[in-house]
Chain A
Amino acid sequence: MSGGANVAGVDDPGGRASAIGLDRVWMIYHTREAETAALAQMSLEVAPQEFVAVVGPSGCGKSTVLSLVAGLIKPTSGSVEVCGETVTGPSGHVGYMLQQDCLYEWRTILGNALLGLEVQRAVTRESVAVVRRMLNAYGLGEFENHYPCHLSGGMRQRAALVRTLATRPDVLLLDEPLSALDYQTRLEVSEDLYRIMRAEGLTVLMVTHDISEAIAMSDRVLVMSRRPGRIKSSHKINLTCERQTPIGRREAPEFRAYFNAIWKELTADGHAVGSAPAIART
């Protein structure tokens, strides 16, 4: 127990209220066969407008962290806070992007983008205009009346992003949002995502098993242990490069050092299942 709490605390800018806070969270799942601890005494803090990536072996409870922050599940013990408020259920503070774009094929792109607003009964002339402006800004303007099946994978993921941003969340949760895309599209979409997040000034918590992606996109990379998950270490990413974009950042001289350090952390834990392909891709 080198203490997940104080490792995360090192990077806490101190004093400033955090956008996301998990405090000594235990999450235990019950099934008829057994009870399984997914998270053990997990703590983490994400500062406002910070972009934090979480990497870890498969099945370490990464997605559980996102579900907790989104209010989809309640922790067995410990507390979860978003924007200073204790999470009791889904709230307007949080936008969640899943692995699949999950666009509904019976709705047009505009219809899909308005889904969250509809659920929250916030469709007004103004909010529709805002969503259309976003679709325009992200190159989807002329497709707003098309159905998702006519769009490429990258465009679909951008449409999913507009749908998420339409409800004006303060905190964005990304659950391997690029893993369903082919590698080239993936790089393109990561550029888009990065640019948009920074432009909107969002706080982002991204779960991924791709170490390069984590380093290229985030301010800080948290490494999770195997199940039951907790934060093993935290790596503040400082890259010296001309273009601060995911592709540009991959060219920074420090990139490889971060990669190796995080890779070592993951493998030190036993087998780092699911992370091996990331090496081949750098």
Chain B
Amino acid sequence: MATQSDRPRQSREHEAFLSSLARRRMVVSVARALILAAFVVLWEVAARRGWINAFVVSQPSRAFATAVSMARRGELWLHLGMTVGETAIGFTVGTLIGIVAAVLLWWSDLLSDILDPYIVVLNSIPKVALGPIFIVWLGTTVTAIIAMAIAISVVVTIMMVYVGFRQVDPDRVKLLRTFGATRLQILSKVVLPASVPVMIAALKVNVGLSMVGTIVGEFLVSKAGLGFLIVYGGQVFNMSLVMSSVILLSIVSVLLYYGVSALERAVMRTRG
């Protein structure tokens, strides 16, 4: 009987605990929104009152107006689509090439021993420095931009995924060998599936890296894309164009990142 009468009291405590959690979550969300709002308001007010030079730093209302008018003329979607497309192709292809290269290195210890210093060198070069080379080879084209995006993500992928392959539990490989598995079976039945989390982690890193590659590429060669808008806006001193492009760029990059996170959750759910 004692436990019966104790129950409601315990559950009330638990309720209090849950509501304190909810309160905390509320505080966090409200504070986050307030910071953003305060920043925007302060920026706008400071520009209007002349505390800062609106010609140099622009102001939220103008940046917004610029974005809206671009959207009306349909240009915005062209530029957004360009940047998103180049980035998506860049990180997908970069990740795939990186995984294939990692498989080759895993397949042959000798090959990975031989290539080790070259990979270290490739990893340490700032890939952005290769931009002019891609332009000479591929012309001032979208292909050159994508090459840039791939170049910047592929070496990191090779290193991350190869390390992941090597960290697969040796007992799991041994188990497969006791069944008489071939090297190809070891790759397909244990090494690749066990490394799926590593490959997704590489994809996550590559989303950000490929975007850097794409924007640098657009700075150098393009006639469309957010990188182009930023450079163009800078050249003609249209800071509202620059600011609205930068804001759009940050929104796009966050959305891409969440996209990959959603993919990760979906994959992990099937793994029980």
Contacts and interface: CB of A to CB of B under 8 A. Distances in A.
Nearest to A70: B178
Nearest to B196: A106
A280 interface: no
Contacts of B185: 119
Chain A interface, DSSP helix/strand/loop, else mixed: loop
Given A104-B190, A146-B272, A119 B179 contact: yes
Nearest to A94: B178
Contacts of A89: 180
Contacts of B193: 104, 106
Given A100-B171, A102-B171, A104-B190, A115 B176 contact: yes
A147 B174 CA distance: 21
B189 A72 contact: no
Interface of A: 70, 72, 89-92, 94-96, 98-100, 102, 104-106, 108, 115-116, 118-120, 146-150, 167
A262 B130 CA distance: 70
B175 A102 contact: yes
- Listed residue (B174, B177, B180, B194) with the most chain A CB atoms within 10 angstroms of its CB: B180
B179 A98 contact: no
Given A102-B172, A102-B175, A105-B271, A119 B194 contact: no
A231 to B, nearest CB: 23
Given A102-B172, A148-B272, A92 B196 contact: no
A149 B190 contact: no
A96 B194 CA distance: 21
A102 B270 CA distance: 19
A94 B178 CA distance: 8
Contacts of B171: 98-100, 102
A119 B175 CA distance: 11
Interface string B157-183: 000000000000101101111111100
Contacts of A102: 169, 171-172, 175
Given A91-B180, A115-B176, A167-B179, 5 more contacts: A72-B174, A90-B180, A99-B171, A106-B271, A147-B272
Contacts, number: 59
A72 B173 CA distance: 11
B189 A98 contact: no
Contacts of B174: 72, 98
B271 A72 contact: no
Nearest to A89: B180
B189 A118 contact: yes
Contact of B178 (A90, A118, A147): A90
Given A102-B172, A104-B190, A106-B196, A119 B180 contact: yes
A134 to B, nearest CB: 17
A105 B180 contact: no
14 contacts: A72-B177, A90-B178, A90-B179, A91-B180, A92-B180, A96-B178, A98-B171, A102-B171, A102-B172, A104-B190, A104-B194, A105-B272, A106-B193, A115-B189
Interface string B36-61: 00000000000000000000000000
Given A147-B271, A147-B272, A96 B175 contact: yes
Interface in B182-235: 185, 189-190, 193-194, 196
- Listed residue (B178, B180, B270, B271) with the most chain A CB atoms within 10 angstroms of its CB: B178
B179 A116 contact: yes
Contacts of A70: 178
Interface in B48-104: none
Contact of A120 (B169, B172, B180): B180
Nearest to A149: B272
B150 to A, nearest CB: 29
